[in-house]
Structure 1
């Protein structure tokens, strides 16, 4: 991968970070009738196209999240192949978990359609099935965009911190934000506070700010030019000690 290709990769990474953020927000908003409605079994079928669009938004999130890992890998591996590979794997795990959440929502939509079409539905069965599918989505939302996100953010931010490819403050923000969102996931798992809460939002804010700031910097000027020049100097090996 040459210097020019790395610059293109940086810009593409920035675009993918922005696409991931936007699609995740729209996905949750479009899911509202079936996730937060009091009568979700009826409301889901009434808003079926909206729910499907929400699933499409999350599929875009999955593709763009994996895309950021793929586009960053050739650069990150030149400083630490082990950490770069770990970041790639955890990013894929995050995407897989989110995909399981998408399947649970689409299954809930099918349940809602069946409920509204039934002449005399068994309420206890439908509510038990619906509760289970919502729980699957909630757990995947915790483990994917929180737990796994925290790990992979700390990984690439650590390489950025050691390599100087991006401003030092941004690397520190990434490592801090990753640790905080990971801590938030653990607190939520043990019931210290709810998943959607003020504390959860506050602990997730730094990692969101890091991704958006990183996207802007990569789009505006890419990775640090002097560091890249050193990286692509002939006979310059990787920093495997990272």
Structure 2
């Protein structure tokens, strides 16, 4: 396997892992994120911890996409390549903060929630932790994929490393995702509404399509794949 093909496969598989891990994590975390009294009741701790592990895998896969593709993306534009890597790190960091918040609720339930003398205000503390997770989810998966698409989509479009229709979908979907997130942030739309999902669809299609293309097709021939000076 040639070096560019190996880079493409690693990047594509990492993108697919983000889908395989992030989508099932949402229903697994619902006992905590959708029920304010979880910390006091009989909790589905194993399920929630599994959901946290899935989000942990998602965060690591986010960073892996940028690491895997960097040897090629830097040959197109080092600034854009570093921008993509940095935005992926920020996204992963926000996801990890959300994971810690949710798992902290599980620990509170195990340590304090099941006892008859549970401290007053425990539900309030647990809800505050869930609120932290909600905001990290809104600004992590809600904003950062748009930033990722602007950096990586520009690189792939300029170099012609994949069919240009793919990065175009990402570049079009980026402002739609940001607009949706801003409207949800200011209470103009339910984040789980049909309109919200439709506005998210282009970015999802871009990331899934890119993951599949890189995994099974690889990069198209491009000067970026040939040895030579690396641009600043």
TM-score (norm 1): 0.89
- Per the alignment, residue 180 of structure 2 pairs with 184
Aligned residue pairs, count = 232
| Larger mean Cα displacement after TM superposition, 182-191 or 14-23 | 182-191
| In 1: Cα distance, 2:206 partner to 2:225 partner | 27
For 1:231 and 1:115, locate their aligned partners in 2 and report how far apart those are by CA, in whole Å: 57
C-alpha separation in 2, matches of 1:233 and 1:98: 36
Counterpart of 2:39 (choices 41, 44, 53) is: 41
Residue 213 in 1 paired to residue 209 in 2? yes
1:128 aligns to 2:124 (yes or no): yes
1:231 equivalenced with 2:231 (yes/no): no
Match of residue 145 from structure 1: 141
- Match for residue 162 of structure 2? 166
CA contact (8 A) 1:9 1:72 kept: yes
Aligned mates of 1:68, 1:41 — CA distance in 2: 36
Distance 1:74 1:50, change over 3 A: same
Give the drift of 1:209: 0.9
Q: CA RMSD in A?
A: 1.8
The Cα shift of 1:25 comes to 1.0
Distance 1:47 1:233 in 2: 53
CA distance in 2, matches of 1:232, 1:92: 25
SS at match of 1:37: coil
Deviation at 1:239, TM superposition (A): 5.4
C-alpha offsets along residues 3-24 of structure 1, whole Å, 9 cap, x if unaligned?
9212111011111111111110
Deviation, structure 1 residue 208: 0.8
Shift of 1:152: 1.2
Q: Does residue 17 of structure 1 match 2:41?
A: no
Alignment deviations for residues 126-146 of structure 1 (CA, whole Å, 9 cap, x no partner): 121122111100000011111
CA contact (8 A) 1:105 1:134 kept: yes
Paired residues of 1:17 and 1:65 also in contact (CA < 8 A): yes
Partner residue, 1:87: 84
Within-5 A mapping of 1:50-69: 50-69=47-66
> Is it true that 1:118 corresponds to 2:111 in the alignment?
no
- The question of whether the paired residues in 2 share the 8 Å contact of 1:149 and 1:182 is answered with no
128-137 vs 29-38, greater mean Cα deviation: 29-38
Specify every segment of 5 or more residues in structure 1 that has no aligned partner in the other structure, as ranges. Answer: none
For residues 177 and 196 of structure 1, the distance between their equivalents in structure 2, rounded to whole angstroms, comes to 18
When normalised by structure 2's length, the TM-score is: 0.93
Residues 157-195 of structure 1: CA deviation (Å, up to 9, x unaligned): 011111111101111001112222122222222222122
